[in-house]
Amino acid sequence: MRLVRQKVKRTGKRYAAGLGVLLAASLAAACATPAAERRPAPAPPAAGQQPEYRQGPARDLAGHAERLRRVQTLRVAAAKKWGLARPPLAAPPPPAVKPRITTRKGFSAGPGLPPVFTTVPVKKRVVFLTMDDGAEKDPRLLKMMTELGIPYSAFLSNYLVRENYGYFERMQGRGVSLHNHTLNHRYMPGLSYAQQKREICGMQDVIQKRYGKRPRLFRPPYGNYNADTLRAARSCGIKAVPLWAAEAFPDRMEWREWDRDLHPGDIILTHFRGKDDWKGTMPDMIRRVMKTVTAKGYAVARLEDYL
């Protein structure tokens, strides 16, 4: 019996290190254990009918290990289904204290205005995936992202999403946060303060009305803004202006940084586009992103958990 206990103890050490990370991974929503399985197992009907090592903490650890094995099996199967050689890496748990966000050096933003940034200051190897506008409404994207457990954030423009508000409602129902990309996707520095405020506050109103929550994040069309843009955004309730460090297409990645590489906390931009605009579909684009991100040893994390 002593040998059995030692074996269980060693097994516990092997699983303990990765347990918290994998159980908190974004795939958990798609692969969660049913409530009945999450409840503690009933006590043995009579003493001695189960070995002692299957009781108490050791039994719970064995149950966790089995659930992890099932989750990993599903991750591998989903990756194969969607054309990935490897499943996406699991993101670590969200930070207990969110990092302090400041405007990137070389970007303008006055005191008290929302910070403008392309990278979240973190040390862990995570990046963030964001999608702009809303032109393409491919149902395969919703299914693919859910099955692979990849978090992402959507920055929407009303002139495109109004064709099918329901698509983005389904997206929101799968845990995706919906943010502001203006009503009509106009070049903001070319507009007056009042016009910019209408574009930003108007989209705040649309998202609140349609999806029940006023956004805190705003991305100006084309990444272009001026002081009036930030002042208008602040007046509409915007707290931060994330831009991007890399951009994804079905056939390539484009880089803002001089070393043409990913870095911890980088924000990746892509768009809701399909074959009318690209050499491929949205699932093709996701394959490109994930092959790149995973090969470089990064996981995709949820942007809102860090802001």
Q: Is the pLDDT of residue 1 over 80?
A: no
Per-residue pLDDT at 3: 38
Per-residue pLDDT at 229: 98
Instruction: Look at 16-25, 135-144, 209-218, 262-271 and tell me which has the smallest mean pLDDT.
Output: 16-25
Q: What gap in Å lies between CA 301 and CA 128, rounded to an integer?
A: 6
Per-residue pLDDT at 52: 47
- 62 or 113, which is more confident: 113
Per-residue pLDDT at 34: 40
Per-residue pLDDT at 56: 62
Q: What gap in Å lies between CA 205 and CA 207, rounded to an integer?
A: 6
Q: How confident is the model at residue 269 (pLDDT cuts 50, 70, 90)?
A: very high
**pLDDT single digits (tens) 173-227:** 999 999 999 999 999 999 999 999 999 999 999 999 999 999 999 999 999 999 9
Q: What is the third-level CATH fold of 116-305?
A: TIM Barrel (3.20.20)
Percent of the chain with pLDDT over 70: 81
- 37 or 254, which is more confident: 254
Q: How confident is the model at residue 115 (pLDDT cuts 50, 70, 90)?
A: very high
**pLDDT single digits (tens) 74-90:** 889 999 999 999 999 99
CB atoms within 10 A of CB 205: 14
Calculate mean pLDDT across residues 283-291.
97
Per-residue pLDDT at 5: 42
Q: How confident is the model at residue 106 (pLDDT cuts 50, 70, 90)?
A: confident
Per-residue pLDDT at 35: 40
Q: How confident is the model at residue 171 (pLDDT cuts 50, 70, 90)?
A: very high
The DSSP-derived string for 116-174 is: EESB---SSSEEEEEEEE-----HHHHHHHHHHT---EEEE-HHHHTT-HHHHHHHHHT
Calculate mean pLDDT across residues 35-45.
44
Q: Is the pLDDT of residue 307 over 60?
A: yes
Listed by start position, the domains of the chain span 2-81, 116-305
154: which residues sit within 8 A by CB, 6+ positions away? 130, 131, 132, 134, 168, 171, 176, 177, 178, 179, 272
The DSSP-derived string for 33-82 is: PPHHHHSPPPPPSSTTSS-GGGSHHHHHHHHHHHHHHHHHHHHHHHHHHT
Name the average pLDDT for the chain.
86
